[in-house]
Amino acid sequence: MTLNCFAYNCAYNKNGACYAGNITITGANASSSVKTHCSTFSESNGSLSNLTSNDFTTSNDITCKATHCSYNAGYTCTASSVSINASNACCDTFINN
């Protein structure tokens, strides 16, 4: 399960890979991807000192609070691949159930 992060301005993003260790996607009442958000997103200051894990984050490391997403099973993401949007750090993989 892969996590592709296109939010290159995030402090945990290193060449498109997330090194936060785990992330949380919010949007309990979201009906579309733009109403979700990676709440772990942190604006980068240009340093990689915020990296908290030596391993990149995968979709197995996602706590999903977007309860209307087809891939949400008890707050666990079941998507085989997840993409985080570049412009607003939303979950582009979200599919309304």
Supply the DSSP symbol for 62.
E
pTM > 0.75: yes or no: yes
The reported pLDDT for the residue numbered 58 is 85
Q: Is 5 exposed, middle or buried (0-12, 13-18, 19+ CB in 10 A)?
A: buried
Measured distance CA(37)–CA(48) in Å, rounded: 22
Task: Write out residues in the chain with pLDDT < 70, as ranges.
Answer: 46-54
* Largest Cα span, the chain: 39
The reported pLDDT for the residue numbered 29 is 96
The reported pLDDT for the residue numbered 35 is 97
Measured distance CA(49)–CA(6) in Å, rounded: 19
Residue type, position 68, single letter: H
The reported pLDDT for the residue numbered 57 is 87
The reported pLDDT for the residue numbered 52 is 61
Q: Tell me if residue 59 falls in helix, strand or coil.
A: helix
The reported pLDDT for the residue numbered 44 is 86
| Per-residue pLDDT tens digits for 22-45 | 999 999 999 999 999 999 999 887
Q: Can you give the residue ranges of every domain in the chain?
A: 2-84
